[in-house]
Amino acid sequence: MKKFTILTLFPDVFENFKKFSIIKRAIANKKIKLNIIDFRQFSKNKHKKVDDYQFGGGAGMIIALPSIVAAIKKYKTKNSLVLLTSPQGKPFNQAKASTLAKTKKDFIIVCGHYEGFDARILNYVDEVISMGDFVLTGGEIPAMAITEAVARLIKGVITDSSLDFESFNNKLLDYDAYTRPVEFEGHKVPAVLLSGNHKKIAEFRKANQLAKTKKYRPDLLKSK
Ligand SMILES: C[S@@+](CC[C@H](N)C(=O)[O-])C[C@H]1O[C@@H](n2cnc3c(N)ncnc32)[C@H](O)[C@@H]1O
């Protein structure tokens, strides 16, 4: 069972995350364990304050080291990989999710807030992961995204065949999928998909994957 320990100032944000769909089933089937920790409880400040002004001046508050480092030290084991969420990190992608799913490691995911952490936090984490070139208010959504992307790749969490054609496998986007009705407001399902000819269907889907990837994500094809 893979353990995800999430260090956050907003543990309630994860309540629904645990209760639905694949994450709920993965927890029930003991494929993953989610441990949501409010690191404010590690603050020694009498008002449980965790943030402070930054040296040198500048807008916004910074999360100081003592409480977050105490939390990391409390939950870190020899088997932990400590992941810091930050827009300044390496962009997360499916290949990274797959690597993380295959490691024997458990994860500690650190969620920032305000203007982020005192920069010396880098001495206490193994990797810095970004969701992309945009800035969110906190690390909770990134932590959920990392947890979910990794969890669904852990063996037995979802049917293996559902993953075969998923976007980014073989550096291609998934093919277009259709269901009933065969015609909706004049929009028809491509006839080949109704033909029963499996070879033709496979060729159609492959061509569709290539055309879509070329149109929306030519960068994927270049890195092939
Ligand atoms: C408002 S952001 C801090 C942004 C920081 N001052 C900067 O400009 O790089 C607060 C927290 O949200 C999280 N966060 C925001 N955007 C993110 C992204 N693109 N990827 C991962 N985490 C992000 C991080 O945990 C970060 O510490």
**Model pLDDT, residue 223:** 83
Predicted confidence (pLDDT) at residue 61 exceeds the cutoff of 90: yes
Q: What pLDDT, on a 0 to 100 scale, did the predictor assign at position 136?
A: 98
Question: If you classify domain 2-160 with CATH, what class do you get?
Answer: alpha beta
Using most ligand atoms within 8 A of CB, pick from 85, 130, 131 the residue to mutate for ligand 1: 85
* Whether the predicted pLDDT of 161 surpasses 90: no
Res 89: pLDDT: 98
* CB of 142 closer than 6 angstroms to any ligand 1 atom: yes
**pLDDT of residue 185 exceeding 90:** yes
pLDDT at 162 over 80: no
Task: Give 76-124 pLDDT, tens digit per residue.
Answer: 999 999 999 999 999 999 999 999 999 999 999 999 999 999 999 999 9
Residue nearest to atom 12 of ligand 1 (CA): 138
Please give the distance of CA 52 from its chain centroid, rounded to a whole number: 29
* Tens-place pLDDT, residues 193-214: 999 999 999 999 999 999 999 9
Task: Give the ligand 1 atom nearest the CA of 134.
Answer: 19
Select from 9, 10, 86 the residue to mutate for testing ligand 1; criterion: most ligand atoms less than 8 Å from CB. Answer: 86
pLDDT at res. 165:
81
Centre of ligand 1 from the C-alpha of residue 63, in Å:
12
Task: Write the pLDDT tens digit of every residue in 15-48.
Answer: 999 999 999 999 999 999 999 999 999 999 999 9
pLDDT tens digits along 113-154: 999 999 999 999 999 999 999 999 999 999 999 999 999 999
Spacing, Cα 133 to ligand 1 middle (Å): 10
* pLDDT of the residue at 24: 97
CATH architecture of 164-222: Orthogonal Bundle (1.10)
Pairwise CA distance, residues 92 & 146, whole Å = 8
Check if 213 has its Cβ closer than 6 Å to any atom of ligand 1: no
Residue-range domain boundaries for the chain = 2-160, 164-222
